[in-house]
Structure 1
Amino acid sequence: MTAQPAAIQASFEKQIDQAIIAVVGYFVLAATTIHLTTDGRNMATMWPADALILALLLRNPRNHWGAILAAGWMGNFLANALTRDWAPGLIFYGAINMTQTCLAAWLITRKRPADDLLADVPTVLRFVLYAGIVTPAAAAAIGAGLSAWNYAQPLVPSFVRWYLSVALGLLIVTPFAMAVLNSSYLKLFRSRSRVENIQAVALQVVNLVVTVAVFGQHSLPLLFLPMTSVVLIAFRIGRLGTILAVMVVGVAGSAAMFLYHPIWVIGGDAAVQQYFFQFYLVIMLVTTLPVATAVSSRSEVLVRLAECEEALGLITAHSPQGLLGYNSVGICQWAQGPLKSYLGVEPEAMIGRSLDALALRAGDVASELLAQGGLAGRRAVFEFSPVLRPALTLEASVGLVRRNGISCGTVVALRDLTRRKVQEVVLLSHLQRDGLTGLVDSPGFRKHLHASFGDGGRQATLALIDIDRFKSINDAHGHAIGDAVLIEICKRLKAVTRDEDVLARVGGDEFAVLLRCDLETARAVCERMVDEVRSAPVFTDGSVSVLASISCGLAEYRPGISPDAVLQLAYSALHALKRSGRNGVRAVA
């Protein structure tokens, strides 16, 4: 019961804080802008005060908007009342500004939050559409009519000045205000070195001085200089620095132009000067912001890559796996892990060397790397014994690294299986055997299956094999020939499997094979088994010749699947095959 009042109080206090920021910030920005850049009657070149309110709305839940908008209206009224000639219409200026700002915030956030207005292209376009086109145009139409009524300003020029002033203020200052409110500038300052921060401050100071110098004189054509300084800031500091730099040009340029001199070579009255400067700011924003966004995105990617590289280095340094990375021409680019224990060579000694150096220590791995072009992107996993460490049994996982669909390198991961291989031999030696074929029997195979699937780090596929219509062979030729058929089929299955695979007889005419490979490799192995059995008679004695075929059902083991579930999947594949025609291989979908 006490949590709810506490939450309500915290929400109320936050609304009060945001309202204070809104009223004080709006008053200061509006009064300063009017005093420095207008004569008290016309619109400012850029109106930044609304941007503060928009930033506050975007950062707060909608149930806090009422307090922020009311405080913003109060700040607007106080600023206009103190800096302009009094007129009853001043009461409505704040209402127009707050309505347009609320509408812009609602349109921007109606589909998703806008924590970063310049995060990606769709967000930028949505921000420009609603804050730079739609709502300023609607507000300008009403505001121009009010200015014509209050100060007898011409309607069309007043509309253009209002629209450009508000649109520029929202587009330039809103991202800056949000960055200030969410401490992005503080985070940027803390993330950079002292020298980088000094350089950033110096660049902003230079930009300010250049802007004042250019727009404070009218004898030299130097309008390119502020653009140059902002572009430099875009490359050196990125998005946040560019937003600040453009805002500095807008405010300082307006003030210098209003207080000192008109823009060089631009004729006409103050309105024409203002139009030109607004257009100048638009060009600057459109030119520099994409550059700054690209630079910032690239910097963020580089930071994330550095973090990932450091994390990967820590992981591999303490990993029991040995890792080797080769480029597309077979030169080792990096090597980590216990390669000294595995291959008899330090990781640093492998870097920069070709596959020949690997072939001297692990010929099977080098051969696999040379054959990688035919893998079609599949990961190859196999076991081998190193040349300099013949007592070890290592598992090598070899996979392609692709960029834009093109192979650009290969990664080799080595794992020591020696202890487990010894345990497997011991386990197999204690398993019960089938009296006829000498294979592991059904209980022993299930025991081995559970033990093997407990090692989740290896690929494994279960194959269940059934002799097609074996009962007919027994009925036609007798059990003695039937037993001879079983023994012959067992020999042919053994000829296809590898030493690391486990072959078992799990029923009268059923076999099971635990294959240490992925599903596609297991499918190829089983297809060879099917061909071996049906290629020649499985029993021949005088006039008696017996042909046979087998059906194979496959299921791949994946982490999280129990051994019994894998068995059931393999049985389902086998039964589906037998219903559709037998004499083949079927993998579970």
Structure 2
Amino acid sequence: MTLRSASKAIAAAGLYFALAASTIHLTSYEGSIATVWPANAVVVAMMLQRPRGEWPLYLLAALLGNGAANMAVRGAGVGSLMLGLSNLPEILIAAWGLRRGVSADNKLLHDKGSVIRFIFWSGLLAPAASTGFGALTAYLMFGQPIGESVAIWFAADALGLLVFTPFFHCLFAGQYLQCFRSKSGAERLQTLALQAVVVVVAAAVFRQSDFPLLFVPILPLILVTFRLGWLGTNLAVMLIAAIGAVATMHGAGPVSLVSWQGFWVEAAFFQVYLAFLLLTNMPIAASLDERRALLDKLAQRERAIHVLAESSSVLLVNFSPAGRVTQVAGDAVSIFGRSAQDLIGEDILDLQEVCADALMSAHVEAIDNPQGRAIAEIELEDGRWIEATFCACYDSEGQFAGSIATILDATRRKLRERQLADAAHTDELTGVLNRAGFMERFEAAIADERTTGISLALIDVDRFKSINDDFGHPAGDAVLREIAARLVSEVRDTDLVGRLGGDEFVILLRTGSTEVAQGICRRIVDRVASEAVYLPFGQDISAQISCGLVYHIAGLGVEDMIHNADAALYAAKRSGRNQLQVAA
């Protein structure tokens, strides 16, 4: 045991004595059982914030404080010890049961579940544990009927724990001070003013005994509940309890209107009144605090999302079910050329003309399929790409609230995809289209109904095997690269050049003119034959090509054109090579 632990236990004993003595003096009838017993709540609140190894020290403090208070006020001897012992099981059970419900941030009542747990342990189980022995002691000491003793003891201890434990727990944990410091000057004045109204109204109601105005303090209490939350509500109920208990024990206040039934009926009536105040406002206050905490978390999360979005290229946009922008987070300027604030209230079709239809389609698809996602990839007018991923969103009550879109600049990814696609369709040696790439584009051209005229030229290098045999494969590769370069230089941008494999090339000429197609092919044949191929290791090689040309006519498919062009190519080779032959 440390000196600090001992000093805290001594403080607990002193505070217990002060509360117990004042409560016995002010709220008990001729020294009998007090109407409300807050002293146990002090020790329970302290135990909730101390290690369980120190709990026996606090139980001893409660025993000493209780005994000293009873001896000082009632002059009791052995009875003081018996009354003190009867409270120990209640304190221990309440502390043990409530300890498991304290949240990570040291809050006792933080949601509806914790309220139910608190009422069960503090309002039922813990006071029930002390009622039998305590009521029996009161019967023996004061001659109070056992039935009345049981009822008054149970209600007094239950109300004491329910009303005062949260207050002392928050007080010892520094939550009242922290809450007060966090408020602005105006908010502090509002807090003090609301509590002052509660005190004034409660004092006015319990000062008079002519009218049953017990309902009046409920009005400022409800206002405190909604404006100040659980901390303010608990303090307000405690103030009403203190004012009402003192007034009732002195025969004043609306409760005295039932004095003809006897003191114990007055006490029971007042206890029921306090229980009503507490149990009607406690769940409301806890629910409001839970909702405030949720809203704070949502606000923090929204701020974090804004910071994250603004520091990245991601844009988050919320759309209403009708497609209007409700929220924007991130850099909207780089994507839509407008600030995020300017987009609020805009219709999805007005964001940018080039992407309006695609965004609306994805929005509708996300709404129609709430469990899935809808993705739109859009190329902007400046050549950039954006990717928008839509999913349905819901409000805090689970009601459909529209969609949320994550929009990002996908230009780099699309360029990379295009580069990979081009690489997959490019001949590694010559840089022209490979067989797969050429055939894909050739088949698309044939299938396109808008195609008005195309021609296909098959080209083969004459005596290429001899080049490989005489000069080696590196020389053959150099010849193929040079011929491919000359083919590309002689055709137009709309034409396609490919290598089918080996020394065989193919050209798709997009022209409906037979004269133009033949002119290009003859120019290619002449160009290859007119200039020798220079090899890196100092030699020159003369190369020639043969070419077969076929025109596309209605009903002629891909295989047909290749077959006819191939036949024309071999006719050129049989006719002496280094020439063009047109398919019949």
TM-score in terms of structure 1 length: 0.67
Give the equivalent residue in structure 2 for 1:410.
403
Give the equivalent residue in structure 2 for 1:100.
90
CA contact under 8 A between 1:24 and 1:75: conserved in structure 2?
yes
**Mapped partners of 1:418, 1:110: distance in 2:** 54
User: Secondary structure of 1:225's match?
Assistant: coil
Give the equivalent residue in structure 2 for 1:565.
none
User: Secondary structure of 2:147's match?
Assistant: helix
Deviations for 1:216-242, whole angstroms, at most 9, x for unmatched residues?
221233222222221221122111111
Shift of 1:280: 0.8
**Mapped partners of 1:353, 1:77: distance in 2:** 74
> Which segment is superposed worse, 44-53 or 94-103?
94-103
Shift of 1:65: 0.4
Give the equivalent residue in structure 2 for 1:338.
331
**Mapped partners of 2:228, 2:292: distance in 1:** 10
The 3 A distance-change label for structure 1 pair 359 and 193 is: same
Q: Does 1:282 align with 2:275?
A: yes
Candidates 361, 374, 381, aligned match of 2:375: 381
The aligned runs of 1:547-562 (5 Å cut-off) are: none
Q: Which amino acid aligns with 1:299?
A: R
Q: Which amino acid aligns with 2:16?
A: Y
User: Secondary structure of 1:238's match?
Assistant: helix
CA contact under 8 A between 2:309 and 2:329: conserved in structure 1?
yes
Give the equivalent residue in structure 2 for 1:45.
35
Give the equivalent residue in structure 2 for 1:72.
62
Give the equivalent residue in structure 2 for 1:220.
211
CA contact under 8 A between 2:102 and 2:109: conserved in structure 1?
no
Shift of 1:205: 1.8
The aligned runs of 1:241-280 (5 Å cut-off) are: 241-259=232-250, 261=252, 263-268=255-260, 269-280=262-273
The 3 A distance-change label for structure 1 pair 287 and 112 is: closer
Candidates 284, 289, 298, aligned match of 1:305: 298
Shift of 1:191: 2.6
Q: Which amino acid aligns with 1:205?
A: A
**Mapped partners of 1:430, 1:138: distance in 2:** 82
**Mapped partners of 2:100, 2:363: distance in 1:** 53
Q: Which 5+ residue runs of structure 2 have no aligned equivalent?
A: 438-557, 561-584
Cα RMSD of the aligned pairs, angstroms, is 2.8
Deviations for 1:148-174, whole angstroms, at most 9, x for unmatched residues?
222222221122111111111011111
CA contact under 8 A between 1:172 and 1:247: conserved in structure 2?
yes
Give the equivalent residue in structure 1 for 2:197.
206
Fraction of identical pairs, as percent: 33
The 3 A distance-change label for structure 1 pair 338 and 285 is: closer
Q: Which 5+ residue runs of structure 1 have no aligned equivalent?
A: 1-10, 441-538, 542-589
Q: Which amino acid aligns with 2:321?
A: S
Give the equivalent residue in structure 1 for 2:390.
398
User: Secondary structure of 2:32's match?
Assistant: coil
**Mapped partners of 1:176, 1:79: distance in 2:** 22
Give the equivalent residue in structure 1 for 2:565.
none
The 3 A distance-change label for structure 1 pair 398 and 62 is: same
Shift of 1:72: 1.3
**Mapped partners of 2:370, 2:101: distance in 1:** 42
Give the equivalent residue in structure 2 for 1:26.
16
CA contact under 8 A between 2:194 and 2:224: conserved in structure 1?
yes
> Which segment is superposed worse, 157-166 or 328-337?
328-337
TM-score in terms of structure 2 length: 0.68
Q: Which amino acid aligns with 2:388?
A: A
Deviations for 1:330-366, whole angstroms, at most 9, x for unmatched residues?
1111234333332333333322121221351414333
The aligned runs of 1:179-198 (5 Å cut-off) are: 179-198=170-189
User: Secondary structure of 2:257's match?
Assistant: coil
Shift of 1:433: 5.7
The 3 A distance-change label for structure 1 pair 122 and 256 is: same
User: Secondary structure of 1:384's match?
Assistant: strand
Q: Which amino acid aligns with 1:371?
A: E
Deviations for 1:176-207, whole angstroms, at most 9, x for unmatched residues?
11111111111221232221221111221221
**Mapped partners of 2:37, 2:80: distance in 1:** 16
The 3 A distance-change label for structure 1 pair 233 and 140 is: same
The 3 A distance-change label for structure 1 pair 14 and 356 is: same
The aligned runs of 1:154-553 (5 Å cut-off) are: 154-259=145-250, 261=252, 263-268=255-260, 269-358=262-351, 360-363=353-356, 364-387=358-381, 389=382, 391-403=383-395, 407-423=400-416, 425-426=418-419, 438=435
**Mapped partners of 1:405, 1:147: distance in 2:** 55
**Mapped partners of 1:330, 1:111: distance in 2:** 45
Shift of 1:109: 4.1
Shift of 1:81: 0.9
**Mapped partners of 2:44, 2:341: distance in 1:** 56
Q: Which amino acid aligns with 1:401?
A: C
The 3 A distance-change label for structure 1 pair 421 and 359 is: closer
Candidates 139, 142, 148, aligned match of 2:133: 142
